[in-house]
Amino acid sequence: MSSSLDHQSGVETLDAAPSPVRKGLGVLFWVCVAWIGIVVLGAILASVVGLQDPNYQGFSAINAGPSTAHWFGTDDLGRDIFSRVVYGARVSLTIGFGAMAIGMLVGGSLGMVAAYRRGAVDTFVSAASYVMLAFPALVAVIAIVAFWGHSLWKITIIIGVASIPLVYRVVRASTLSYATREFVTAAKAQGATDWRILTRELLPNVMPSIISFFLIGVASVIILEGALAFLGLSVQPPTASWGNMINESRTYLSSNPWLVIFPSLAMVLFLVALNLVGDVLRSALDPQDGKL
Amino acid sequence: MTSIDVESFPVEGSDSGPILEVNDLVTSFATPRGRLTAVNHVSFALDRGETLGVVGESGSGKTVLSRSILNLLPSKGLEQSGSVIFDGTDMLTAPKDVLRTLWGARISMIFQDPMSSLNPVVRIERQITETLRLHLKMDRKEAKATAVALLDQVGIPSPAERVRNYPYQLSGGMRQRVMIAIAIACSPRLVLADEPTTSLDVTVQAQILDLLAAMKAERNMSMILVSHDLGVVATRADRIAVMYGGRIVEIAPTKTLFASMAMPYTQALIGSTPRISQASHVRLTAIEGRPPDLVNPPQGCAFAPRCPYATEQCRTDVPPLVAARNNAAHLYACWNPLSGSGGTVSTQGGASS
């Protein structure tokens, strides 16, 4: 089952009997992975699998509950909620993964370089990150979105930039604990360049914490997008995002709760799955845990 | 001796003359308490194919000396003077690019703790092939085959499978064998072994030392073997340098040192080695007092406060490193050398030199 982690525990070739301490990642982990996979696939393939147009207004069924024709029911304009949840995943996931990718690329690289080089680079970038962190992220994002615009890519970039200082701090802290280790000195003593040490010696060590922080970060960004949508500052209607749908349907909370329940459920389940997978991966990939 | 032509850094050294010349090396660090002089006016030369043992207790500057020779110390607050001429290149003034072509290829180091000096999340294979591909420009396949051959040479069973392992899957002794394989991969001219057996079981120590000696002979390398254990270097080194308080206090061919040691500290070091012939529960002989404070070193001989033979002169003047009367290869720094050893009669002659 745990074949994806064989690079961590692949001793089969040598040790005849599998190590008894090697335990699986648990059923829950794989359920969560499957769920994340389904949501991501759905978001990618939404336009291919022949879902109803999420913006098609079918006046024959307005504010209808779940049925075989409309699995999740319809909203006040007769739009299919299932279709909108799937298309909404597209927006939420693009912002979530896109923003974190930007944060990881910029913040992660800066964090690793700062922790490895120390000195003036570290002092300067760290000070800058403190300044950025001191500014409430949500307020900053709201202000910039209000000025710059609401398009999907602009929101992704803005949230991505806002996540840089946080990613920077996490990656820097993680790298710091390895940068002074003897194996880095040993690599230097073998003639390795700084680039080589960063990418070949340090990166594999900080990767576990980067991966888990990435997943948990995606979850936080999706929540942030929800908050923005709730304030009407995310992608504009009629484009569906999970946050958008919750915001639009809150007036119908008492008359048609399905409107809120389905996008909220999609969001909550996806976030729980992300957090859980991130957490399990972090402890499973940590070479110090139970390996010595 | 201190300045060298900075313009030319001959990477290709000659085959004659000493492989390594350390001249008046001083290494100090900035600490919150003041400057700490870890290596203090150290000079010695190492011949091609020679093994030099460096002994001394913790904090005597052994490790800093070996890292100074490679110029591998973190630059923050560091001050180095003197020169370290390795095969025609001054390691202290050579630019980083030049050093990188030397490190691992022509001069390499074996570290004390093989657990922390191997990357825990990288396969053994890549840790060995990295050096081969970098310095010898091997391709992937060739490097892998060489890595397996190297593991075989350092005595690791079923090397073809072992290269796929991670460090945590190997025992301490095996890991140190891997470190040795990495260090000798490019057949360097000089290997610095910094306490290579300290973190290993006593039963494995001898094996590792034998392996080092065999590899050294096979590949015609020179070696500096650093240890706090005189017993470790006694049978492996051609010459032994005893360090105390950042200085070399005595240096002599191994036999001479044991036959006619001049420095009371050397005697104390040997005296504090536990012997199997001793009765059980005998109190271990320890050297009284503590190692000197290297930020505020004592005025005279650093060992004077702990030395049973110390005189007024020992407490005021630093003894110079002088040659014994009957043996030019035997140098010591002591005002009152042990007379029973026969080799040294008077100290006054040496003092003026």
Looking at residue B114, its pLDDT comes to 82
- Measured over all CA atoms, what is the biggest interatomic distance in chain B, rounded to whole angstroms? 67
Task: Report chain B residues whose CB lies below 8 A from the CB of A189.
Answer: 70, 72, 103-104, 108-109, 111
C-alpha distance from residue B90 to each of A105, B26, B39, B95 (Å) = 40, 14, 17, 10
Same structural domain, B38 and B138: yes
Please tell me the total count of domains within chain A: 1
Rounded to the nearest angstrom, the minimum Cα separation between B77 and chain A is 12
Same structural domain, B191 and B268: no
A188 touching B (Cβ < 8 Å): yes
Same structural domain, B49 and B81: yes
Please tell me which of the candidates A118, A183, A188 has its beta carbon nearest to residue B119: A183
| Contact partners, residue A136, CB within 8 Å, separation at least 6 | none
What is the 8-class DSSP label of residue B33?
T
Same structural domain, B223 and B164: yes
Average pLDDT over residues B323-332: 86
Contact B151, B215 (CB under 8 A): no
E strand or H helix at B142? helix B140-153
B171 touching A (Cβ < 8 Å): no
A195 touching B (Cβ < 8 Å): no
Same structural domain, B300 and B192: no
Looking at residue A163, its pLDDT comes to 92
SS3 B293: coil
Q: Report d(CA A132, CA A240) in Å as an integer.
A: 31
**Residue written as tokens 């995002």?**
A241
Same structural domain, B175 and B67: yes
Same structural domain, B60 and B99: yes
What are the tens digits of pLDDT across the range B300-321?
Answer: 888 888 888 888 888 888 888 8
Q: Which residues pair with B240 in a beta bridge?
A: B53, B252
- Among residues B228, B257, B223, B227, the alpha carbon closest in space to that of B240 is found at B257
- Among residues B60, B116, B31, the alpha carbon closest in space to that of B290 is found at B60
Looking at residue B13, its pLDDT comes to 52
Q: Per-residue pLDDT for B139 more than 70?
A: yes
Q: Report d(CA B272, CA B284) in Å as an integer.
A: 7
Rounded to the nearest angstrom, the minimum Cα separation between B26 and chain A is 21
Could you tell me if residue A62 is inside a domain?
no
Looking at residue A231, its pLDDT comes to 83
Please tell me which of the candidates B111, B116, B119 has its beta carbon nearest to residue A201: B119
B287 vs B150, which has greater pLDDT? B150
Looking at residue B307, its pLDDT comes to 85
- Among residues A153, A157, A164, A271, the alpha carbon closest in space to that of A219 is found at A271
CATH number of the domain that residue B107 is part of: 3.40.50.300
State whether A190 and B134 contact (CB < 8 Å).
yes
Contact B86, B19 (CB under 8 A): yes
Same structural domain, B293 and B178: no
Same structural domain, B134 and B40: yes
CATH number of the domain that residue A144 is part of: 1.10.3720.10
Which pTM value belongs to this model? Answer: 0.78
Could you tell me if residue A69 is inside a domain?
no
Looking at residue B339, its pLDDT comes to 67
**3-state DSSP percent of chain B in helix, strand and coil, to 5:** 35, 20, 45
C-alpha distance from residue A140 to each of A92, A158, A260, B347 (Å) = 20, 9, 28, 78
Query: In which region does residue B195 sit, left (phi positive, over 0), alpha (psi from -120 to 50) or beta (all else)?
Result: left
Q: Report d(CA B30, CA B23) in Å as an integer.
A: 22
A292 touching B (Cβ < 8 Å): yes
What's the domain range around A271? Answer: 75-285
Q: Which residues pair with B51 in a beta bridge?
A: B223
Contact B55, B240 (CB under 8 A): yes
Mind giving me the DSSP string for chain A? -GGGGHHHH--TTT-SSPPTT-----HHHHHHHHHHHHHHHHHHHTTTTTPPPTT---TTSSS----SSSTT-B-TT--BHHHHHHHHHHHHHHHHHHHHHHHIIIIIHHHHHHHHH-HHHHHHHHHHHHHHHHS-HHHHHHHHHHHH---HHHHHHHHHHHHHHHHHHHHHHHHHHHHTSHHHHHHHHTT--HHHIIIIIIHHHHHHHHHHHHHHHHHHHHHHHHHHHHTT-SSPTTS--HHHHHHHHGGGTTT-THHHHHHHHHHHHHHHHHHHHHHHHHHHH-TTSS--
Q: Look up residue B9 and give its amino acid.
A: F
Rounded to the nearest angstrom, the minimum Cα separation between B152 and chain A is 16
Could you tell me if residue B247 is inside a domain?
no
B341 vs A242, which has greater pLDDT? A242
Task: Report chain A residues whose CB lies below 8 A from the CB of B122.
Answer: 200-201, 204
What are the tens digits of pLDDT across the range B114-130?
Answer: 888 888 888 899 999 98
Same structural domain, B232 and B320: no
Same structural domain, B146 and B269: no
Mind giving me the DSSP string for B102-113? HBTTTEEEE-S-
Q: Report d(CA B306, CA B302) in Å as an integer.
A: 9
Could you tell me if residue A263 is inside a domain?
yes
Q: What is the pLDDT along chain A (292 residues), one digit of tens a residue?
A: 444 444 444 444 444 444 444 457 788 889 999 999 988 888 888 777 767 777 777 677 676 777 776 677 777 777 888 888 888 888 889 999 999 999 999 999 999 999 998 888 899 999 999 998 888 888 888 888 888 888 888 889 999 999 999 999 999 999 998 988 889 989 988 888 889 999 988 998 898 888 889 998 999 999 888 888 888 888 777 788 888 888 888 788 787 777 888 888 888 999 999 999 988 888 777 655 444 4
Rounded to the nearest angstrom, the minimum Cα separation between B118 and chain A is 5
What are the tens digits of pLDDT across the range B1-25?
Answer: 444 444 444 445 556 778 999 999 9
B276 vs A162, which has greater pLDDT? A162
What's the domain range around B318? Answer: 257-273+286-351
Please tell me the total count of domains within chain B: 2
Could you tell me if residue B5 is inside a domain?
no
Same structural domain, B38 and B101: yes
| Contact partners, residue B43, CB within 8 Å, separation at least 6 | B22, B23, B24, B25, B82, B248, B321
**Residue written as tokens 């096979």?**
B218
Q: Per-residue pLDDT for B26 more than 90?
A: yes
- Among residues A10, A281, A176, A2, the alpha carbon closest in space to that of B168 is found at A10
Could you tell me if residue B313 is inside a domain?
yes
**Residue written as tokens 């139970």?**
A290
